[in-house]
Amino acid sequence: MSASTAWRSETLASSRAARNSCKPATVRALFVLLSGNAEVRRGDGVVLARLVSGDIFGEMSFIRNERASADVVAMTDVSVLTLTEAVINELFEERPGLAAGLYRSLAAELAHRLGTASAR
């Protein structure tokens, strides 16, 4: 199976009664919010970030190979692309230069978030 056929996209419905929530590190993967809005929340409910279409999440636990420290909660109907570690590794084998670009992009995103948090 090629990596392009192994990507998984899910559409999750949100309701006022129960919001969809996921703990990204239940599987080692990166997630891309394709559509909709979501919040990143600590276990005590404090909102750490708001996500919009195009945002990635799960990168900290992916890089550190640790369990996620926060939940991602859908605030609207969302569509999420899941890139599992197996898919990412297959992409790296098919396109060796992709690894450096991906990790550089993740480092830039984390640096931006750290800068934003430090400015608060």
| All structural domains of the chain | 3-119 (2.60.120.10)
Query: Distance between CA 36 and CA 8 in Å, rounded?
Result: 17
Residue 95: count other Cβ atoms within 10 Å of its Cβ: 11
pTM here is: 0.74
Confidence of residue 14 (pLDDT cuts 50, 70, 90): very low
> What does the block give as tokens for 111?
């640096």
The pLDDT value recorded for residue 6 is 43
* Mean local confidence (pLDDT), 47-52: 93
Comparing CA positions, the residue from 80, 82, 76, 70 lying closest to residue 19 is 76
Encode pLDDT of 92-112 as tens digits. Answer: 999 988 989 988 988 998 898
Q: Considering only residues 74 and 1, tell me which one the structure prediction assigns the higher pLDDT.
A: 74
- Whole-angstrom CA distances from 34 to 53, 55, 92, 95 are 5, 8, 22, 23
Give me the percent of the chain exceeding a pLDDT of 70: 78
